[in-house]
Structure 1
């Protein structure tokens, strides 16, 4: 088994264990990560728009 598949299996097993042992914690973490991801995406596009506008 190559390294990528092994890492994917470990991540899936970890997330499955976390979902069974603390579903609310996983949901809160996923919600927070999604919000932060959206914030980073907004900053990235704002930066690109400002850069193109400055050209």
Structure 2
């Protein structure tokens, strides 16, 4: 079952890459930017929490 889901995701990604490469690139860029912002916010919160413990 898990292999089928992975294969379907890969096939969908390849189909999307062939039919709309610009849209795929924009989505990947937005996802990367959101992930970077989330990581930055997380570590900023951890630093603030640690400083408050002192």
Quick check: TM above 0.5?
A: yes
Cα offsets for 1:2-27 (capped at 9, x unmatched)? x2211111110100000000000000
The reply on whether 1:40 has 2:20 as its aligned counterpart is no
Q: Which runs of no fewer than 5 residues in structure 1 stay unpaired? A: none
Counterparts in 2 of 1:10-21, with a 5 A limit?
Answer: 10-21=8-19
- Aligned-pair CA distance for 1:29: 0.5
| Counterpart for residue 51 of structure 2 | 53
Q: Report how many aligned residue pairs link the two structures.
A: 53
Q: Which runs of no fewer than 5 residues in structure 2 stay unpaired? A: none
TM-score, with length taken from structure 2: 0.92
